[in-house]
A = this chain, B = another copy of it.
Amino acid sequence: MFMPVGSQATVKSLASDDLRDIGCEILLSNAYHLYLRPGVEVIREAGGLHRFMSWDRAILTDSGGFQVFSLAPLRRIDDEGVMFRSHIDGSAHHLTPEKSIEIQEGLGADIIMALDDVPAGGADATRLAEAVERTHRWAERCLSAQRRADQLLFAIVQGGSDITLRRLSVRALSAMDFPGYAVGGLSVGEPKDVMYSVLRETVPLLPVLRPRYLMGVGSPEDIVEAIWCGVDMFDCVLPTRVARNGAIYTRDGRRSIRQASFKTDWGPVDSECDCYTCRTFSAAYVHHLFKCEELLAYRLATIHNLRFMQRLVDDIREAIVADSLAAFRGEFLRRYRTTDEAVRLGQKRAHEGGRGRVARGATEPIDRCV
């Protein structure tokens, strides 16, 4: 399953009905963002995040760990937790494993995440090892802190690109018997083949009957490859963020709807798509909306890209059931023209945020509208 990202209780430019129409069954939201604004008390008073945003399907909330490391200025970490300042108003806050669980219980998602220590991309061996050990201690504290029985608490495997550390992390967390496991700290600036190799070496070691969630990944080809390695769940801002820049997913690769060639293209943006945008409007109209910077452009492109991701995982699920995943993968990768690696890393550096992205001390908010 692919989870669209709605950090601030909305997937940017969409209402919950749009997500239902797309076929989305579960979305991701963020303890960090919602704790700061509107605040947990507001959402608790609303009757929880589902009612707050009128969404009757599943929600997963991230613990806030990654966002503190990537968004908040002036953070200080020790074994107790993380001191940080809000990227919105500079106010001081202290996030501990217990506090993260309390926040996530207040929000009321169906799946909640353990607080982890997220080392920056390119961290040295000492820092990586420290982060892994601390992540394990925090995972135990999260388990002990949990009060609600109706939420699934997932642990997060860390260890960067170090296979030995990754194995250690898998073993330690598996022993704690979580109902689900995530792989964090990938897609943080490392080459794609390094990420795939970590997945190949790590994912098969995770408990077989528990869902496996690769955080903050990724592009369509990443998802095909990661499922091939045994991953079940994904979230990523990529399809929604690039949509707001006019990048449209098709099975042939990404194309920019801003290109002049679309000016009089009377077909849909993607002739193989059944989304609202493709059923209703021509590529020429969507092109026009982007040229005019009209707000509707962002919604139409977002609907298309999320429907593309939904169809992709639906098709893969069918292929798995039909035992034809190898054929699907071969065909998909032959056809899908991936984004140039240099372009991709440049884009990653240009934008901040999203789980699995490189954790830097950047102060700008990531999830501002385009």
Contact = CB atoms under 8 A, between A and B. Distances in A.
A228 B99 CA distance: 61
Q: Among A12, A295, A370, find the residue whose CB has the most chain B CB atoms closer than 10 A.
A: A295
Contacts of A281: 53-54
Interface stretch (A197-205, A286-294, A352-360): A286-294
A322 to B, nearest CB: 36
A335 interface: no
Q: Among A12, A288, A298, find the residue whose CB has the most chain B CB atoms closer than 10 A.
A: A288
Contacts of A13: 295-296, 299
Contacts of A309: none
A276 to B, nearest CB: 8
B12 A42 contact: no
Nearest to A303: B15
A300 interface: yes
A46 B294 contact: no
Contacts of A42: 263-264, 284, 288
B296 A10 contact: yes
Given A10-B289, A285-B52, A295 B294 contact: no
Interface residues of A, number: 40
Contacts of A368: 293
A280 B17 contact: yes
A333 interface: no
Given A13-B295, A53-B281, 5 more contacts: A38-B291, A45-B264, A45-B266, A52-B288, A292-B367
Closest CB pairs A-B (n = 7): A13-B295, A8-B292, A38-B288, A10-B296, A295-B369, A10-B294, A54-B280
24 contacts: A8-B289, A8-B292, A9-B288, A10-B294, A12-B294, A13-B295, A14-B296, A15-B299, A17-B280, A42-B263, A45-B264, A46-B282, A52-B282, A52-B284, A52-B285, A52-B288, A53-B281, A53-B285, A54-B280, A54-B281, A54-B285, A292-B367, A294-B369, A295-B298
